[in-house]
Structure 1
């Protein structure tokens, strides 16, 4: 199977690019219902913010404005695979950049100025927006996620972690070294009350380290087991997950805490049943038993398509580590939250206001979306606790504008309703279902939060990079790709937000590559040696039952 990159450039001087200067709330807490009543409650909240009551063992005591805790949707949690390829002068496949991964890297607060002690808080607001590659869009709305959990006092539940390690030949060298380093860092994050086991798979799978309680006298045993992992064999991921889930189920029976499988792999199964259905079936079955799955991707040959599907199941999330520095940062800062599920089955219905239509949705896999008339509905299987406040975005345009040039008699003004949101979810700890609804209103420019201003820039970047990579792959149009990324570089330069510096670097890297491909020159060009790969293997592309627009993420209306 060939790499999912469309072109490769060997250019050590591209590393220099990284150092170039880049030219009113009514929060209502629902009391737990009596045991003999239906475990569900309808909550009607203010037009600006919706939230639901907390339950279980979490201590949700902080205010929304003062809390540093947030929430993000499951699935891809970064775009490190795309970034690493672009940093090497490659043009990654457009499907390897996901909006949900990009958003998860950022704090996207949408604080409307009110406090809430709730476990899972959802806010909704909109702002005017224009995107070069989607000119019909007039507004961008955010569903902002956060949590009232107090960062200073919150502690995660005890963890029963089953590490499933791909030790096949393709993992030899740097990938497996990174896995061993990752496991050592994971061990440092575990404490009394936690336990760890290790399953290895190559041609066959076996338990490398049985379930072991983490304590002072067992750490040396676990460290020695990690150091002794060696690479050999084919990639029988099916058997590896079978053994891993078996260990997880058996060890979870007498464990008072959460159980999670953590799969370390380059996702290139070639022995046993290699179909996505086999892995998805195992992951779904385990999720019904309360066993989550975190996939850790390593290596430049990482196969993203299967990993993204696995991360979409309940309790699933996905991270990619291109190097030790990224791994250390993620595990040190985010380990406790990446294994903590806040809510399940977050189901949303978006009802555009009269005169508007939905023009795009960003922040979840497109396969989760479906039309019901003019409404768009979707369900996100898992919401995770996070130190960053996350969100899902949707774009709106004036109804009929694209087809007839229609514009409303008067433009939307601050305070106007542009959509209504109906949603529900089940609390992970309490198991109670909560339903709520809220208007989505246009915010005044002076009141815009970083969730909307930063979100507009990230959606713009996502759309532009995806369109540019598609122009390269599907149309062989290097000039369009060059012009699109040149404009993106300029737009990002005009945004006064230091947090977006990594995006300025990414845009510059991609623009540099398209400049060389199109025969243009830019100030950042250094000496490049280019090798064009003529064949593109799309075996790793996900199969879609319903056609999906490659840019907006919207399903067909058939």
Structure 2
């Protein structure tokens, strides 16, 4: 895949637009922002995606998209509730929530470059984010058609952490997970399998991607390991990739582990340094944790370098589903160092950010928010970032109402293509009529309402205000419509209510 050299920002808003390319300077939680008006800057990295020409207001799902989050860590909430455990408020990390949903944004035309930014502005934010008076959805489009596009061939070296606590003898769960991976590969791809234990085992070396029999045999040979050494397994896999990968293949290490600290073989900062070294040699790391462990800092560190991706599954058996739902989002980079800078108009301040990794968002003393994500990946699900804006409240005067066409913010976009070329562009954001809202904006509004309500209710319950927590949950206002649109979130809401009432 070779990115194009220009950028179109399709923000669905009327105003001037400028872009420039070729600058070689290498320079699933909502975040409450400082009360002063500020700029928000986000830096992401690799993302390559495309979309066919579609002039319809709501384009058909004919192109790949991209997602910022993607770890699926919202599964931790569902797993805790299924076990009868009332989770901590911090378990509700919204990048994982939004990564689980397909959130299409309205399009005004085709995307003819690597990555396009789509945008919508609504004067009707979810009630839970008051005093916010505006909701912005920023979505993604690419020039990669779902039909007819083929990714580059790859060599995937799998590191399996065969934890006796979670892997049954006979390797049934592992075989299923490996077949889920292999189903997305073809004869042009290459597979290898190594252990994460001290035994230095190589179970398969450079098998053809469609060699199902060989892959099953290798998976069944995996021995349980009482001592996990994921770091050693990653080093072993990297050496194998460097020694056996065919020319032109993407090289990726896939780590399958519970992510428990005692299985990693090194501290998170050491694992991050290891991943950075691999990235410098052209090897990306995909880390998929399974089993519902909440302390997966080591796995996140492995996925934190350039080309890294992090995913989660409730069990080893569930790994196959993760691969089947959105394989490209874990393995195929789109762009690097994708950045957004959002400057609120006079009288407005950025009051919330949803759908970005919490750890990647930082603020400086001047109130500038920066988000850094090393890599964005091709995705079959349309991803989105949601922003809320509140009145700045100058001199105690009432804020001017937000009107259609009035400026709310200016967006500056930048990203580095896989070829190394930089693309930048700017655009003005302004609200539009509510009847033009996309499905993604409507769904995002409902999901933010659910997220904020659940998190605040859990915090109230943790503080001992049980009645207040129950009242907040009961007042969320979800009914049959939301139950049909968001069955997992609806079930989690009911389960949380039941657990609180039982205490």
Structure-1-length-normalised TM-score = 0.76
How many residue pairs are counted as aligned between the two chains? 467
Q: 2 CA distance for matches of 1:421 and 1:70?
A: 20
Are 1:440 and 2:429 counterparts?
Answer: yes
Say if 1:318 and 1:93 are closer, same or farther in 2 by CA, change over 3 A. farther
Matched, 1:369 2:364: no
Distance 1:149 1:220, change over 3 A: same
Instruction: Kindly provide the CA deviation profile for residues 62-121 of structure 1, in whole angstroms up to 9, marking residues without a partner as x.
Output: 437242421112552452222122223222233333211111111111114322223211
RMSD of aligned residue pairs (Cα, Å):
3.2
- Alpha-carbon contact 1:204-1:240 (below 8 Å) kept: no
Distance 2:224 2:475 in 1: 45
Superimposed CA distance per residue, residues 491-538 of structure 1 (whole angstroms, 9 cap, x where no aligned partner): 232756843222212211222211212xxxxxxxxxxxxxxxxxxxxx
Output the CA distance in 1 between the equivalents of 2:264 and 2:288: 21
Equivalent position of 2:224 in the other structure:
231
Displacement of 1:152: 1.0
Q: Report matched runs for 1:46-125 at 5 Å.
A: 61-63=52-54, 65-66=59-60, 67-77=62-72, 79-125=74-120
* Contact kept? 2:102, 2:382, Cα under 8 Å: yes
| Residue 353 of structure 1 pairs with residue 363 of structure 2 | no
String of CA shifts for 1:354-386, please: whole Å, max 9, x gaps: 111111211222332233534433232211111
Kept in 2, the 8 Å contact 1:72–1:391? The answer is yes
Residue ranges of structure 1 left out of the alignment (5+ in a row):
1-23, 42-54, 518-558
Residue 151 (structure 1) shift: 0.7
Q: Deviations over 1:170-222 (max 9, x none)?
A: 3333996433311122122221110011111234543222222335xx43222
Query: Is 1:162 equivalent to 2:157 in the alignment?
Result: yes
Residue 413 of structure 1 is aligned with which of 373, 398, 403? 403
Aligned to 2:382: 389
Q: Is the 8 A contact 2:159 2:196 kept in 1?
A: yes
Per-residue CA deviations over 1:386-435 (Å, capped at 9, x if unaligned) read 1111111121111138xx86531x3011222211111210112x221101
Aligned residue in 1 for 2:7: none
Q: How does 1:265-276 map to 2 (within 5 A)?
A: 265-270=257-262, 273-276=265-268
Contact 2:51 2:141 in 1 (8 A): no
Q: Greater RCO between the two (CA within 8 Å, min separation 6)?
A: 2
Work out the CA distance in 1 between the residues paired with 2:141 and 2:169: 36
Which of residues 438, 445, 451 in structure 2 aligns to 1:456?
A: 445
Inter-partner Cα distance in structure 1 for 2:468 and 2:223: 47
* Counterpart in the other structure of 1:244: 237
The match for 1:341 is: 333
Identify which range, 70-79 or 102-111, moves more after superposition.
70-79
TM-score by length of 2: 0.83
Q: Which residue in 2 is equivalent to 1:289?
A: 281
Contact 1:74/1:380 (CA < 8 Å) preserved in 2? Answer: no
Q: Using a 3 Å threshold, how does the CA distance of structure 1 residues 77 and 504 change in structure 2: closer, same or farther?
A: same
Alignment match, 2:189: 194
